[in-house]
Structure 1
Amino acid sequence: MISPKIKVLFSILALACFSLPVFAQQNNKFQVIAYFFGSPEQAEKVPAEKLTHIIFSFCHLKGNKLNVDNAGDTATIKSLVGLKKQNPQLKVILSLGGWGGCETCSDVFSSAAARTEFAESVKQLNNYFGTDGIDLDWEYPAIEGLPGHKFGPQDKPNFTALVTELRRVLGKKQEISFATGGFQKCLEESIDWKNVMPQVNYVNLMSYDLVNGYSMVTGHHTGLYSVPQLKESADNGVSYLLKQGVPAGKIIVGSAFYGRMFEGVENVNNGLFQSGKFKQGISYAQIREQMPNQTDFVYHWDDLAKAPYLYSAEKKLFITYDDKRSIEYKTQYVIDKKLGGIMFWEIEEDAPTDGLLDVIVNVKKNGSSLK
């Protein structure tokens, strides 16, 4: 006969065994986060049922306060919030900054009083719109972003203080995330990972633009893995964050719904890792719809980086981008590593049907068929 004490012990163990997988599942929920940079009419057509978050891009500073720039942006935010009728679980987040959109951040966030004023303004806007939090897209604390914008070593502790004040003012229910550059200098010098990450929901790793508008050599701007010629990659960024003790479930891997075109690229190694000059950005929708008609462009796949590229020897043009195959690899990578999810810039650049978002949703649901 089993004693009452043993029965109680068995009950506790059974409850623990039952509870742990549920807890793990909740912590490992796969987030699908879309940045949105479009009109109110475009906002109404966003497939909300496929997303967990949508981040309005961008609000800016007006004095010390978070500011919605104009009536059009106000209408857009309201349209995005209206998507909750389709998906009640959807989180709509306001974003500060963007590339070149944080000119006064270094000065403003150096003051405790200004940080409090900013945090209070975030709370007021979230209450007004019914939005769910703030994404800080300061490019970048403590290192150079857009040439001419102020930065300095004091930005790093000031960013930590900003996040601390936001959490105090917003409480636990509002989400706080931030975008960080996926390149090594930013990862090492911009953020105090130990003190920032316990206070935020996610870090959106911008594992794109790793070859950018200032680059003079072609390469994979959003490769999954590093290659001998290019250390910067999604995996390099994720590996660094994990070594810093960042919880895997808080890391969101970035993907690009656009490509970067370089010109003046000689026909060596099919244009990859060659001298060139950035020409323009090009949406995935344009790449998929227009490139097949331009027969001089040849598709290539780098199996080490898990990244596609296009090259025209005739026009000396090179395009680095994400396609359905690379997105499938990235999404499965997130699942395998038990990361927080995947985000992308920018949903309006996806193909209108059977696009990259559909690949993410399918792999999230069914897993990848790629080996």
Structure 2
Amino acid sequence: MKLVKMNLFIACFLSTILSCFSCGEDYDSVMPDFSFLNVDKAKMYFDNEGEEKSFAVLSASMDFSVSMSEGTNAWASYRIDKKNVIVKVEKNLSNEVRTGVITIQSEGKTSQVKIQQGFTRILAGYVYQSYEGLPDVSKLTHVNYAFGHINGSYNGLEIDNIEKFRQIIAMKKQYPNLKVILSIGGATQLDTNNFFHMTNEASNRSAFINSCIKAMKEYGFDGFDMDWETPTSQKERENFNALMKEFRQAVGADVLLTVASPAHHIEFDFKTLDNYIDFVNVMGYDIDIPPYHQSGLYRSEMTNKCSIEEGMKAHMESGMPAYKLVMGVPFYGLAIDQIGSKDYRFVDYRAMDQFKSEKNATEAWDDKACVPYIKDAQGNFICTFDNTRSIGIKCQYIKDQKYLGMMFWHYDADTEDGVLRNAAAEGLK
């Protein structure tokens, strides 16, 4: 049996959960061959307590070889049971991120499984395409650029304000550890419909994925955040699973693939998606409007549909591990102008003082939910939002529960000097 010799590409996760190979001219040269390997396990994450996981070799022959990157055997080992490669990692007392590569060769083909124990917490910010100027990314690990869209033929990618996107990608030169991700979709009915039609046809999925890869090679960003809000049927969930599996097969293990998911209702098949995606941005906002919190950490008398704690745990129960969950926080408030009204409006945090002044309102604190709110002169709850205090408490909760990190929507709603994002960066240390 002829074995093909390849260089081992050691995963360089640096200060984030995952790094990305260059998306330039040599993109195709680092693509693994997944024709004989269970792609579902092209990346394997382990907790710091020590655990055991496996992946399958799918080649027709029983004749295959397995090797481990240099130094990895100091904390990990493997054994072979028929066509299963079982990987075991030791307890990580230092809690430092440890990474390695397992290489499998069979029938003249070579592929790799990347393994990682532990993670570095992330702070991701959504930057909207209309933001004037360039964001301060010095304290961010990820920027999610909003938005890319599925085209009207359901088979290609379109990107809003491509020049702005280019400028943000160019910031990677100054901040080489920064990951820039294109968020695709949004909360519009058009985006929802386009996701439905694109995922419903295998040919559309394939063409769309190829269009995404072409854009990534041209512009040099790090991955894709799927923002379908949201599948509503089992068939739609299955189609989305197929998209993400095919996407992962097409781009390999090193391109970031993430999903945005509402905190207050689970619409994705996370047990399956865990095999293909890097993490979930749990949208811990827009859950309700006054007189209820939109983003209360814990349940209180002013919680109606869901608390953030409940939403995060629901995502774990549905199949997504804690180390792949990112808690979303709002940098804006939801306000009502008439008591009892179902109509609401957005109030950016940077405009919150002005809102309070206009309404002759005062800020209050919910000790149970651990979030602020605003009440008018008569004591009515008229605006739900987050501030530096609630963000600090949420950061501590993230660390206590061993979640991956925090994200926020959206950058432009913060104050010019970044009061909220600075609180998040400090709180996650």
TM-score, normalised on structure 1? 0.81
Report which of the two has the higher share of strand: 2
> What root-mean-square deviation, in Å, do the aligned CA atoms of Structure 1 and Structure 2 show?
2.5
Superposed, 1:312-331 pairs within 5 Å as 312-313=376-377, 318-331=382-395
Alignment of 1:150-299 (within 5 A): 152-184=233-265, 187=266, 190-212=267-289, 218-228=291-301, 229-265=303-339, 275-288=340-353, 290-291=354-355, 293-294=357-358, 296-299=360-363
1:59–1:66 contact (8 Å) kept in structure 2: no
Matched, 1:114 2:220: no
How far apart are the structure 1 equivalents of 2:261 and 2:90?
A: 37
Give distance in 1, aligned partners of 2:386 and 2:351: 13
Paired residue for 2:172? 84
> In 2, are the aligned partners of 1:61 and 1:96 still within 8 Å (CA)?
yes
Question: Which letter does structure 2 place at the counterpart of 1:29?
Answer: T
| Letter of the 1:48 counterpart | V
Shift of 1:295: 7.1
Does 2:121 match 1:30? yes
- TM-superposed CA distance for 1:141, in Å, is 0.6
Tell me how far apart the structure 2 counterparts of residues 360 and 153 of structure 1 sit (CA, whole Å). Answer: 36
Query: How far off is 1:18 after superposition?
Result: 6.9
- 1:305 is matched with which residue? 369
Q: In the comparison of the two structures, how many residue pairs are matched?
A: 324
**How far did 1:181 drift?**
1.0
What are structure 1's unaligned runs of at least 5 residues? Answer: 1-10, 143-151, 266-274, 366-371
C-alpha spacing 1:293/1:26, structure 2 compared with 1 (3 Å) = farther
Shift of 1:235: 0.6
User: In structure 1, how many angstroms separate the alpha carbons of the residues matched to 2:128 and 2:92?
Assistant: 43
Name the counterpart of 1:59. Answer: 148
Deviation of 1:233 (Å): 1.7
Partner of 1:47: 136
Superposition TM-score, scaled by structure 2 size: 0.70
> Is 1:362 equivalent to 2:426 in the alignment?
yes
CA distance in 1, matches of 2:414, 2:234: 37
Residue of structure 2 equivalent to 1:268: none
Deviation of 1:278 (Å): 2.5
Cα distance change on mapping 1:18 and 1:316 into 2, 3 Å: closer
User: Cα distance 1:359–1:133, how it changes in 2: closer, same or farther (>3 A)?
Assistant: same
Asked whether the equivalents of residues 157 and 208 of structure 2 are also in contact (C-alpha less than 8 Å), the reply is no
CA distance in 2, matches of 1:55, 1:325: 24
Q: Secondary structure at the match of 1:239?
A: helix
Instruction: Kindly indicate whether structure 1 or structure 2 has the higher relative contact order, using CA contacts under 8 Å at least 6 residues apart.
Output: 1
- Percent identical residues: 28
Please tell me whether the aligned partners of residues 60 and 102 of structure 1 are also in contact (alpha carbons under 8 angstroms): no
- Alignment partners' CA distance in 2, 1:245 and 1:314: 45
Residues 15-70 of structure 1 show CA distances to partners (whole Å, capped at 9, x for unaligned) of: 9577763247962311101011034742x2x1122111101101111123343345
The one-letter amino acid paired with 1:94 is L
Say which structure is richer in helix: 1
Pick from 130, 135, 152 the counterpart of residue 225 of structure 2: 135
Q: Counterpart of 2:126 in 1: which secondary structure? A: strand
- SS of match in other structure, 2:394: helix
Q: What amino acid is aligned across from residue 304 of structure 2 in structure 1?
A: L
Contact 1:51 1:90 in 2 (8 A): yes
Mapped contact 2:287–2:305 kept (Cα < 8 A): no
CA distance in 2, matches of 1:161, 1:130: 25
The answer for unaligned runs of 5 or more in structure 2 is 1-72, 76-88, 99-115
Q: Is the alpha carbon distance of 1:227 and 1:93 closer, same or farther for their aligned partners in structure 2, counting shifts above 3 Å?
A: same
What's the CA shift for 1:343?
0.4
* Distance in 2 between residues matched to 1:314 and 1:12, nearest whole Å: 65
Query: Residues 313 and 191 of structure 1: is their aligned pair in 2 closer, same or farther, counting only changes over 3 Å?
Result: same
